[in-house]
Structure 1
């Protein structure tokens, strides 16, 4: 009897491990590194439409932080996200992309659309969001993504995190990748192939 319960326990433990991790075709396991819950939101995208957490929940999605007046990391990050969008499309991985402006008093929907187009974005599954206060995005980024956002009064540049965040269907940030490094960005495809299998 004891042996029987031991086997049942072992099976349940193995089942839990398989659910908690994804495995790639080469057998490599991809484990969540975080379980940070994303706060609820309801913001405006580049087409003037409202996008909320409920709209993206239920499947994996990728988020980052950008602003259109950025003269350093945001252009290459957005180009990298556009390349990622293409790679995911080639793999048949349907995943939503969300870029949150960290300079919302400057970035209106038209500016965000122009910025996205300039860097190769396709808007069928990629939203560039604004429509909130500077204080709101600083709090949201910190609470949802453990990410720093700071704008000094009188300055036109914003200090912000450069990660691409992978969000689970339950609305939890589970992994972060360096959005300025294409080799890191490419890992997201492998992660999603493993998680979504």
Structure 2
């Protein structure tokens, strides 16, 4: 009994130590699945177009009445910081409500947040089941339609993706977004 209890405690200690890491953002190692969708201008954007570039992804929709406006404002703030510091990175917002979020709706939505479309793409052009599968396989996140409303349930993380299309870190995109850490991590990938 003592050995079993000590084994459990030791296992938990190893887990906690491993989870603590270096105090940086949560480190991930997930390959983004190939995709080719359309952006707010009706132009094709594919994973192949992002090869060799660092990018930050999130999941939003234009009819969102809860978390999306705050997340999109935070993504806008990240874009401002990238410009101010002269750091190149793409921003990719995947719509989780593609049936309603056509390119015009996405462009109108991001314009309200002063988006600069030179490096920020809001993507659509797929069905709900396709984005649900893509989000699960690429980012290990889930989305679901809220059967009690017209809303879509989704996570509030920002995901940092490296030049090879690997998700390497995720951050809180809703509250206490760690802008300084995101900037530091983006710069580290570009060294």
Fold match (TM-score > 0.5): yes
2:40–2:103 CA contact under 8 A, matched in 1: yes
TM-score normalised to the size of structure 1? 0.81
1:178 maps onto 2:172 in alignment: yes
1:148, CA displacement in angstroms?
Answer: 1.1
4+ long deviations beyond 6 Å = none
Aligned to 1:108: 102
2:38–2:103 CA contact under 8 A, matched in 1: yes
Change in 2 beyond 3 A, CA 1:194/1:30: farther
Counterparts of 2:82 and 2:29 in 1: how far apart (Å)? Answer: 23
Aligned to 1:136: 130
How many aligned positions are there?
170
What is the RMSD of the two structures over their aligned residues, measured on CA atoms?
1.8
2:26–2:171 CA contact under 8 A, matched in 1: no
Aligned to 2:158: 164
Aligned to 1:6: none
TM-score normalised to the size of structure 2? 0.84
Aligned to 1:155: 149
Change in 2 beyond 3 A, CA 1:74/1:31: closer
Unaligned runs of 5+ in 1: 1-27
1:138, CA displacement in angstroms?
Answer: 0.5
Map 1:9-158 → 2, pairs under 5 A: 33-152=27-146, 155-158=149-152
Out of 158, 183, 186, the position equivalent to 1:192 is 186
1:177–1:185 CA contact under 8 A, matched in 2: no
Counterparts of 1:169 and 1:161 in 2: how far apart (Å)? Answer: 23
1:187, CA displacement in angstroms?
Answer: 1.7
1:29, CA displacement in angstroms?
Answer: 9.1
1:65-123 Cα offsets, whole Å, 9 max, x none, are 00000001100100110110010111111101000000000100000001001122110
Counterparts of 1:141 and 1:171 in 2: how far apart (Å)? Answer: 14
Residues 103-112 or 30-39, more deviating: 30-39
